[in-house]
Amino acid sequence: MRIFVRVAETASFAEAARQMHLSPPAVTRAISFLEDEIGVRLLARTTRSVKMTEAGQRYFDDCRRILADIAEAEASAAGSHGNPAGTLVVTAPVMFGQMHVLPVLLEYLDLYPRVTGRSLFLDRSVNIIEEGIDVAIRIGNLPPSGLTATRVGWVRRVICGAPSYFAEHGVPRSPADLAEHRVIMPTGAWVSPEWHFGPDSRTSVTVHPRLLCNTNQAAIAAAEQGWGITRVLSYQIDPALAQGRLQSVLDDHAESPMPIHVVHGEGRRATAKVRAFVDLAVETLRNNPLLQ
């Protein structure tokens, strides 16, 4: 079953053999044995490709479930978490990853020396199953999926600027006042010139940015220098707010907070390395007062 799953995943007998440290003839014999035993063709082979048949696809899904059950049984026999090992891939938004996820990952790697970590910090949502990611930290409401998600906190959108900017240009008292101000806008994913306000997000204002920045860090830096105002997520400017480099405005008109989730795709069958990281991340992020 393991050989068949690896051939199906790689669509190659030779690559499956290389990854499993077997000879190509041994892989071929294993698949032939399976097909003879079951009495149905599992893989359609040509000189250029290997594809699953309809029966092969059903068998592939069953094999993955059965092999996951075996791994779960072995991990359970070894203890509630077993011994984390292998490569752990974690994704998160860029700034959130650098500020809040990377410290968790470093602590985790210190605790489990047999694990190698890989961070993938991107300001876009990635398909964690298709891209081989173990754990994702997601900000915002999640669409329906078969993934396991644990809420660990909240963030909100904040409009902010430097005290020097507001001293010169005044403080906006309502969303409509934004038309009179210099707006700095990041151009990353999920950014729109239509800014919504209020708990139900029914009030909206279309802003006309004077400066577009391709990173949140650049937009925040421009705001800190007193050039204009920007709208970012609260965690991105917590240090600047605490130190007085920035101040928030229109807080009374803010939208409802957005949830932060730790997401993974294996449910109760999660491997030891995933379970251990999720436990540590959930505890650490929930104990961070800036995210509550």
Over residues 208-229, the mean pLDDT reads 96
pLDDT given at position 83: 82
The pLDDT of residue 49 is: 85
4-43 confidence digits (pLDDT tens): 999 999 999 999 999 999 999 999 999 999 999 999 999 9
Q: Is the pLDDT of residue 200 over 60?
A: yes
Residue 101 has pLDDT above 80, yes or no: yes
Q: Give the tokens for residue 263.
A: 């997401």
- Res. 69: pLDDT tops 90: no
d(C-alpha 172, C-alpha 157), whole Å: 16
pLDDT greater at residue 250 or residue 79: 250
Range from 51-65, 105-119, 149-163, 267-281 carrying the lowest mean pLDDT: 267-281
Q: What is the mean pLDDT of residues 239-268?
A: 93
Percentage of residues in the chain with pLDDT exceeding 90?
Answer: 78
Q: Is it the case that residue 190 has pLDDT exceeding 80? A: no
Least confident of 31-40, 114-123, 209-218, 265-274: 265-274
Q: Is the pLDDT of residue 89 over 60?
A: yes
On the question of pLDDT at 184 being above 60, the answer is: yes
Average pLDDT, the chain: 91
Q: What is the pLDDT of residues 109-133, one digit of tens each?
A: 999 999 999 999 998 888 888 788 9
pLDDT band at 189 (very low <50, low <70, confident <90, very high): low
Looking at the chain, the whole-number percentage of residues with pLDDT higher than 70 is 94
pLDDT at 80: 47
Q: Averaged over 218-226, what is the pLDDT?
A: 97
pTM of the model: 0.71
C-alpha count within 13 angstroms, C-beta hemisphere, residue 272: 19
Residue 79, pLDDT > 80, answer no
pLDDT at 178: 96
Tell me: pLDDT of 77 over 70: no
Tell me the DSSP string of the chain.
-HHHHHHHHHT-HHHHHHHHT--HHHHHHHHHHHHHHHTS--EEE-SS-EEE-HHHHHHHHHHHHHHHHHHHHHHHHH-SS----EEEEEEE-HHHIIIIIHHHHHHHHHH-TTEEEEEEE-SS---TTTTT-SEEEEESPPPS-S-EEEEEEEE-EEEEE-HHHHHHH----SGGGGGGS-EEEE-STT--SEEEESTT--EEEE---SEEESSHHHHHHHHHTTS-EEEEEHHHHHHHHHTTS-EEE-GGGPPPPEEEEEEES-GGG--HHHHHHHHHHHHHHHT-GGG-
